């Protein structure tokens, strides 16, 4: 029998990560009909962390494992905070703090393969992902609309960035934008 336990239970567990990013793990409620979970709730996810006004949601499907996209960001005043979760397959998500002044920037990463776990990255981070399986699908939520003049990127393959890939990315699948992305030191600010 389906119960109304959902109203009494906290819908998320929050796990703090590097560079002010965090994971929101939704509680799964199940019965003989299937499962239910909350993948996003502004009040529970972000009350004490930051303001996140959902303005756009995109569904992204990658056909092939090894497809890498990123590291992307937007310049102020159009910088975006992001919430992402995988609905099919698995992906390694990356984020790097753009405020980092180290000689070699440290890229953080986590593997997501469950739709009830969401990764939040703040406006101060560039982000990217690597599909770990064919036909990986994920949902990306942002708090500001895309502004083409403010789009920027950092090469994940430059000498001044420390990134560890779970599987080798296929350079044949890189977009022109990612093929010619500047190094971390020479990125747009």
| 146 Cβ neighbours under 8 A, 6+ residues apart | 56, 74
For residue 91, the enclosing domain spans 52-179
Measured in Å, how far apart are the chain's first and last C-alpha atoms? 55
Q: Could you report the per-residue pLDDT of 116-171, keeping only the tens digit for each?
A: 889 999 999 999 999 999 999 999 999 999 999 999 999 999 999 999 999 999 99
What is the domain-level CATH number for residue 120? 2.60.120.10
The dihedral built from the CA positions of residue 53, 56, 59 and 62, taken in this order, carries a sign that is negative
The count of domains in the chain is 1
Taking a C-beta distance cutoff of 8 angstroms, is the pair 158, 116 a contact? no
Report pTM. 0.84
User: Is 121 within a domain?
Assistant: yes
CA–CA dist 181, 70 (Å, integer): 9
User: Is 162 within a domain?
Assistant: yes
Q: Which pLDDT score is estimated for 47?
A: 44
User: Is 127 within a domain?
Assistant: yes
């Amino acid at each position: 029998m389906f119960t109304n336990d959902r109203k009494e239970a906290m819908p998320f567990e929050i796990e703090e990560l590097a560079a002010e990013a965090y994971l929101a793990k939704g509680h799964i409620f199940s019965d003989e009909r299937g499962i239910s979970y909350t993948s996003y709730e502004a009040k529970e996810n972000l009350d004490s962390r930051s303001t996140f006004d959902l303005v756009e949601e995109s569904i992204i499907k990658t056909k092939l494992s090894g497809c890498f996209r990123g590291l992307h960001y937007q310049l102020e005043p159009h910088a975006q905070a992001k919430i992402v979760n995988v609905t099919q397959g698995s992906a390694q998500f990356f984020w790097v703090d753009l405020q980092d002044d180290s000689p070699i920037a440290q890229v953080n990463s986590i593997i997501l393969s469950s739709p009830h776990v969401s990764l939040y990255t703040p406006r101060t981070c560039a982000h990217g992902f690597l599909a770990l399986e064919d036909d990986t699908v994920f949902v990306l939520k942002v708090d500001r609309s895309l502004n083409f003049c403010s789009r920027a990127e950092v090469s994940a393959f430059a000498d001044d960035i420390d990134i560890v890939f779970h599987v080798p990315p296929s350079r044949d699948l890189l977009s022109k934008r990612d093929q010619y992305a500047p190094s971390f030191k020479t990125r747009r600010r």
